Amino acid sequence: MAKQKIVPLFDNVLVKPLEAETKLPSGLVLPDTAKEKPQIGEVMAVGPGGTDDKGNVVKVVVKVGQKVMYKKWGGNEVKVEGAEWTIVEQKDILAIVE
């Protein structure tokens, strides 16, 4: 099977969620069922941008390779080569993680 290439449309951003921390500061290890959904991920692809309600061009400000924090319940989960990734709108990205 050929490798898939996902190209987001408009101001959508394809994010590969990073693994949630499995160990608490106290040393306890969390089971998979207790882990929270990750909110930080790596930008894998970005759309060309979109327009706002008044027709003004809105550019995508994040770049491929950056780590970002996004809304917990924002976006749509998609499978890319067997892995769960997320497509979020730019407005659902809260911060760039440095």
Q: What is the pLDDT of residues 28-55, one digit of tens each?
A: 665 555 455 668 999 999 999 998 889 9
- Could you tell me how far CA 13 lies from the centroid of its own chain? 7
Q: What is the pLDDT of residues 51-75, one digit of tens each?
A: 888 999 889 999 999 999 999 887 8
pLDDT of 2 reads 58
Q: Is the pLDDT of residue 96 over 80?
A: yes
Which of 4, 7, 16, 12 has the alpha carbon at shortest distance from 86?
16
Angle at 74 between CA 21 and CA 89, to 5 degrees: 115
Instruction: Tell me the pTM.
Output: 0.77
For the chain, what percent of residues have pLDDT higher than 90?
49
What domains sit in the chain, N to C, each tagged with a CATH number?
Answer: 12-18+29-43+50-63+70-97 (2.30.33)
Confidence of residue 25 (pLDDT cuts 50, 70, 90): low
